[in-house]
Structure 1
Amino acid sequence: MHVLFLYALTGSGHLKAAKYVAEAMTRENADIRIHMSDALKLCYSSFEAFILKAFRFLISGCPVTYRFLYRLTEKNSIFNHIAGWFFSSSVSELKKICSEIKADCIVCTHPFALLLASKLKKELKTNTPLILGIITDYKIHRFWVYPQVDLYFVPSAEMKEDLLRLGWSADRIKVTGVPCPPDIGHDLKVYRKRKPFLLVSGGGWGLGNLEATTVSLLKRQIGHTLMVVTGENNELYQRLKIIRAKYPGRLIVKRTIPKLYNTMKNALAVLTKPGGLTVTEAMILKKPLILLKPLPGAEEKNLDYLISRGAAISYSTFLKQTDIIDRWHELHSYRQGLTARSDSSHQIACSIIETCARSNLSGNNAE
Structure 2
Amino acid sequence: MHIHILTASYGSGHNQAAMQLKKTITAHNDTAAIVKPLETKIPSLYEMSKKVYERMLLTCPQIWRKWMQSSHSALLSTIVTCLSFLYQKQIEQALQADIVLSVHPLLTAMAGEVKQRKKWDIPLYSVSTDYWTPPLSHHSAVNGLFVSEAEETSWKKVDQMVYPAGIPIHMSDYRLSKKECCLKYGWSPNKPLILISGGGDGIFPYQEAGDILKSLCVPATIVMISGRGNWVYDTASDNHDIHIIPFTRDFKEMLRAADLLISKAGGMTMAEAVHSEVPILIYAPLPGHEEHNAHCLTKHQAAVWVKSPSELKKTTEELLLHPLKQEQMKRRLRRIREENSAEVILSIAKNDALQTMFQPHVYRQQHNGYHKQESERPF
TM-score normalised per structure 1: 0.87
Aligned residue in 1 for 2:300:
309
1:49–1:330 Cα change, 3 Å: closer
What is aligned with 1:174?
Answer: 163
In the TM superposition, what is the alpha-carbon distance from 1:185 to its structure 2 partner?
3.0
Alpha-carbon distance in 2 for matches of 1:39, 1:20: 19
CA separation in 2, counterparts of 1:86 and 1:161?
30
Matched, 1:360 2:357: yes
Q: How many residues align?
A: 349
Distance in 2, Cα, partners of 1:248 & 1:110? 43
Q: Residue 125 of structure 1 aligns with which residue?
A: 119
User: Are the equivalent residues in 1 in contact too, given 2:302–2:332 (CA < 8 A)?
Assistant: yes
Q: Which moved more, 1:324-333 or 1:287-296?
A: 324-333
Give me the CA root mean square deviation: 2.4
Work out whether residues 22 and 34 of structure 2, in 8 Å CA contact, stay in contact via their aligned partners in 1.
no
* The 10-residue stretch of structure 1 (185-194 or 306-315) with the greater mean CA deviation from structure 2: 185-194
Q: Is 1:232 aligned to 2:228, yes or no? A: yes
Which stretch of structure 1 is more off in the superposition, 247-256 or 114-123?
Answer: 247-256
Task: Please state how far the C-alpha of 1:335 moved relative to its aligned partner.
Answer: 2.2
- What displacement does 1:94 show? 1.9
Q: Is the 8 A contact 1:191 1:266 kept in 2?
A: yes
Q: CA deviation digits over 1:161-216, x for unaligned, max 9? A: 321xx3334xx2111122221x4333547325232421100001111211110121
- Helix, strand or coil: the match of 1:10? coil
- Residues 80 and 115 in structure 1, CA contact (< 8 A), matched pair in contact too: no
Matched residue type, 1:228:
M
1:63 is matched with: 61
Matched residue, 2:377: none
Q: Bigger shift: 311-320 or 218-227?
A: 311-320
Give SS of 1:179's match: coil
Following TM superposition, by how much is the alpha carbon of 1:118 offset from its aligned partner in structure 2, in angstroms?
0.4
Match of 1:204 among 189, 193, 200: 200
1:114-142 CA distance string (max 9 Å, x none): 0221012112213x421011112223321
Residue 132 of structure 2 contacts residue 147 of structure 2 at CA under 8 Å; is this kept in 1? no
Picking from 273, 290, 298, the partner of 1:282 is 273
Aligned to 2:366: none
State how 1:36-55 maps to structure 2 within 5 Å. Answer: 36-55=34-53
Output the CA distance in 2 between the equivalents of 1:158 and 1:245.
Answer: 41
Q: In the TM superposition, what whole-angstrom CA distance separates every residue of 1:231-288 from its partner, at most 9, and x where no partner exists?
A: 111x22xx12xx1246697111111111522210111111111111101111111111
1:262 maps to amino acid: E
Which of 52-61 and 153-162 deviates more? 153-162
Task: Note the residue ranges of structure 2 that are not aligned, 5 or more in a row.
Answer: 364-368, 371-379
Aligned counterpart in structure 2 of residue 150 of structure 1, from 120, 138, 143: 143
Structure 1 segments unaligned to the other structure (5+ residues): none
1:34-62 CA deviation, whole Å, 9 max, x = no partner? 10022421552221122111001111233
Taking only the aligned residue pairs, the percentage that are identical comes to 20
Instruction: Give the letter aligned to residue 17 of structure 1.
Output: A
Matched, 1:110 2:104: yes
| Letter aligned with residue 320 of structure 1 | K
Conservation of the 8 A alpha-carbon contact between 2:219 and 2:240: no
Alpha-carbon distance in 2 for matches of 1:70, 1:356:
29
Q: Distance in 2 between matches of 1:255 and 1:104?
A: 39
2-side partners of 1:244 and 1:192: how far apart? 18
Give the whole-Å Cα distance in 1 for the aligned partners of 2:75 and 2:137.
Answer: 11
SS of 2:201's equivalent in the other structure is: coil
2:174 to 165, 186, 189: 186
Pairing partner for 1:323 from 318, 324, 327: 318
Q: Is the 8 A contact 1:140 1:159 kept in 2?
A: no
1:91, 1:119 within 8 Å by CA — same for their partners in 2? no
Partner in structure 1 of residue 374 of structure 2: none
Counterpart of 2:46 in structure 1: which amino acid? E
CA contact (8 A) 1:283 1:336 kept: yes
Shift in Å at residue 81 of structure 1? 2.6
